[in-house]
Structure 1
Amino acid sequence: MDHGEVLLIGGRAGVGKTTVGWEVSALLRSTAVAHAIIDGDFMGQVHPAPEGDPHRAEITERNLTAVWANFTQRGYRRLIYTNTLSVLPEATGMFERAMGNGVRIIRVLLIASDATAHERLEGRERGSELEHELEGGIRKARLLDQRAPEDTVRVVTDGRLVGDIAREVVAATGWTTIVSS
């Protein structure tokens, strides 16, 4: 495999991106599929935001480029990347620049109802961010639903086990054959 491949796992806050990403990694490890995993939320967490870059896109891309270069030097060609809006079309350029032209992009949008996301966020958020996450989550869920490209695989997470969701996500990659349990 000459070109890299990236599995983008997107979705609103509380949908299970990080949890599913780690379970996808566990499934791939169990079948000896080499890969790397990045939680995109950490790639641009600087405060205050760089001048002229309120959404931290530049620092995120620079960090992704550097980390991916380290991974490829060690022979990795597959990446799992979790981040809320990563599946949107405008993110494509960042992955092409960071991982090289010809990168294969697989988009998976995790979906949860407002009630499910609210319940999960209440269980997770211990600080001052709950209201912000709830409000932003509703807005971002609508945005993702409207703007995710047609080839995006949509996976509902309400009332499902993480392992079942991860198997569906792995199936979308074609990276391995995972047998259902």
Structure 2
Amino acid sequence: MADVAPGRPEVLFLGGRSGVGKSTVAEALHDLLVGADVHHAVIEGDVLDLAHPAPHVAHPEVRLAERNLALLWSAYRDLGHHRLVFTNTVSVLEQDRLAAAVGDDPVVTAVLLRAGDDVTAERLGRRSGGVVPSAQLAHSTRTARRLDTAIPDTVTRVDTDGRTPEQVARHLASLTGWLPA
């Protein structure tokens, strides 16, 4: 395990384009950690401010995702958890604000999951049960480019092409120090 002060939160921020496998990898990591009896929580960040009109557009000053993260995490902390897997497309760009919402000066590992356009299109197609609208794939591609060029050097890039979710999860567990390599 990572050498961390007792009680200090450890957070894995998983970001990446739509269809890269964030949720699937988080589930595989959850299963891996459960199997090793490593206490943790998983929060799917994309739903923390999912509403219409979009709160981050209509009321950006409210920071609803961060507020909801703080509330959810406090419930896990009350139960004794100190490790968090947090998935969200742009979490790797907003890791400072999200870490502040977690509180207690967390140890942060930020990872950008990457995948090629063909692989992403196939994954999105499976998710939607058919053909992916070209606008959705184009948005995913633009997001991938934006994330890859805008993230700080402290973010680890992990390619998912040709790897199973379990292989990626093992890599992430090693990166965080939650399981040995």
What TM-score does the superposition give when structure 1 sets the normalisation length? 0.88
Q: Which moved more, 1:126-135 or 1:56-65?
A: 126-135
Correspondence 1:60 to 2:62: no
Distance 1:55 1:170 in 2: 33
Partner SS, residue 42 of structure 2 = strand
Match of 1:176 among 172, 175, 179: 179
**Deviation readout 1:153-178 (Å, 9 max, x if unpaired):** 21111121111111111111011225
Partner SS, residue 63 of structure 2 = helix
Determine if contact 2:49/2:56 at 8 Å carries over to the other structure: no
Structure 1's 12 and 54: CA in aligned 2 closer, same or farther, altered over 3 A?
farther
Determine if contact 1:44/1:57 at 8 Å carries over to the other structure: no
Q: Which residue is equivalent to 2:140?
A: 137
Partner SS, residue 38 of structure 1 = strand
Distance 1:37 1:16 in 2: 15
Runs (4+) of structure 1 moved beyond 4 Å? 54-57, 126-129
Determine if contact 1:10/1:87 at 8 Å carries over to the other structure: yes
Alignment: residue pair count: 176
Partner SS, residue 15 of structure 1 = coil
Amino acid at match of 2:50: Q
Q: Percent identity, aligned pairs only? A: 39
Structure 2: 5+ residue runs without aligned partners?
1-5
Partner SS, residue 13 of structure 1 = coil
Match of 1:38 among 40, 43, 64: 43
Partner SS, residue 46 of structure 2 = helix
Q: How does 1:20-169 map to 2 (within 5 A)?
A: 20-50=25-55, 53=58, 58-88=63-93, 90-96=94-100, 98-126=101-129, 130-169=133-172
**Shift of the alpha carbon at 1:145?**
0.7
Structure 1's 34 and 86: CA in aligned 2 closer, same or farther, altered over 3 A?
same
Amino acid at match of 2:161: D
Structure 1: 5+ residue runs without aligned partners?
none
